[in-house]
């Protein structure tokens, strides 16, 4: 049989199986939205939780008419029913938030979660209204009498309570007197934070360079280890060489020490010999430097008589 059609059919079957598997796979990420009365300081990038587990993050926060629309990106394969509820919660005291989803209902969630199924940690307008209504219901006369009774009670109270109140008063005055210092501290902290923000690229480069340096040191560790190992091996070989030649090295070292001692004892004579050798060498060079003979002058000799001549056969003697 021709293997080409069989191979083509096998490839088609594998591709179809992969396509079917991807088609029936539950979505790993889905976009949802919810309407809230207030944003409550929620920002994009903050987490979306279900039962305390992070399943996504906030992708956008914006106005949708008189409501706040929050877009959510759910990455985990979770199913949100048609009655799903959403709540904005404070995550930390520093102001971070999270969106908590409570899946519910049959089917799948379609469209934004309405205001009736959402809540925020606080609402500014109702809170201000409650304060106004509470202030309107206050009885000014009763409040004044209550303050008078409180004043008399404090005046007639024990010394410990009055001392405590005095201490609280002094503490309040101290804080008020240091108000400018506190403001200066906050300004300096803000300036330092801004400087760090401006230099964050350099700090990042410094961290990267430090990481590269540590990686290079780590890479060279094997070389340094090999060098130390070879040094130890060389020291061991030198020790073995000394041990093997100890019988020869001992006499040689003793003779060398004797020779050095002899040189030290005759150091003055050697110096004088070297000084005298200089003029001798110079005169010797002058005597033999004119040819294949010696030039010499013998002083205080009687001059040759008239008619005398040198006889070469007699080795230069007078004939």
Q: For residues 91 and 48, what is the distance between their CA atoms, to the nearest angstrom?
A: 11
Reported pTM: 0.34
The predicted structure's pLDDT at residue 69: 93
Q: For residues 47 and 262, what is the distance between their CA atoms, to the nearest angstrom?
A: 93
**Which are the contacts of 317, defined by CB distance < 8 A and separation ≥ 6?**
310, 311
The predicted structure's pLDDT at residue 136: 62
The predicted structure's pLDDT at residue 304: 61
The predicted structure's pLDDT at residue 231: 92
State pLDDT tens for residues 190-199.
Answer: 888 888 878 8
The predicted structure's pLDDT at residue 79: 81
Q: What are the mean pLDDT values of the chain's consecutive 10-residue runs (319 residues total)?
A: 69 74 56 88 89 90 90 83 89 80 87 90 59 63 69 62 70 74 81 81 84 85 87 88 80 87 87 84 76 67 62 52
């Amino acid at each position: 049989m021709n293997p080409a059609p069989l191979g083509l059919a096998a490839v088609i079957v594998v591709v179809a199986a992969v396509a079917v598997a991807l088609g029936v796979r539950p979505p790993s990420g889905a976009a949802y939205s919810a309407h809230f009365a207030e944003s409550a300081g929620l920002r994009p990038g903050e987490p979306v939780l279900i039962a305390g587990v992070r399943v996504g993050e906030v992708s956008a926060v914006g106005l949708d008419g008189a409501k706040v629309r929050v877009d959510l990106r759910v990455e985990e394969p979770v199913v949100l029913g048609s009655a799903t509820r959403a709540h904005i919660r404070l995550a930390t005291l520093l102001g971070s938030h999270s969106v908590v989803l409570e899946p519910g209902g049959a089917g799948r969630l379609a469209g934004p979660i309405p205001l009736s199924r959402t809540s925020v940690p606080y609402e500014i307008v109702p809170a201000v209204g409650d304060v106004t209504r509470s202030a309107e219901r206050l009885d000014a006369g009763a409040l004044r009498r209550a303050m008078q009774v409180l004043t008399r009670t404090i005046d007639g109270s024990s010394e410990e309570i009055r001392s405590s109140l005095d201490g609280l008063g002094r503490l309040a005055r101290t804080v008020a007197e240091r108000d400018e210092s506190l403001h200066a501290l906050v300004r300096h902290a803000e300036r330092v934070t801004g400087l760090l923000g401006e230099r964050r690229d350099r700090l990042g480069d410094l961290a990267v360079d430090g990481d590269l340096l540590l990686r290079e040191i780590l890479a060279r560790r094997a070389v340094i280890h090999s060098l130390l190992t070879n040094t130890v091996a060389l020291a061991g070989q030198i020790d073995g060489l000394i041990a093997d030649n100890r019988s020869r090295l001992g006499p040689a070292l003793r003779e060398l020490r004797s020779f050095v001692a002899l040189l030290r004892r005759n150091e003055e004579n050697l110096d004088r010999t070297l000084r005298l050798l200089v003029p001798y060498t110079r005169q010797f060079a002058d005597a033999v430097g004119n040819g294949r003979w010696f030039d010499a002058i013998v002083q205080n000799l009687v001059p040759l008589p008239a008619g005398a001549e040198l006889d070469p056969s007699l080795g230069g003697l007078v004939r």
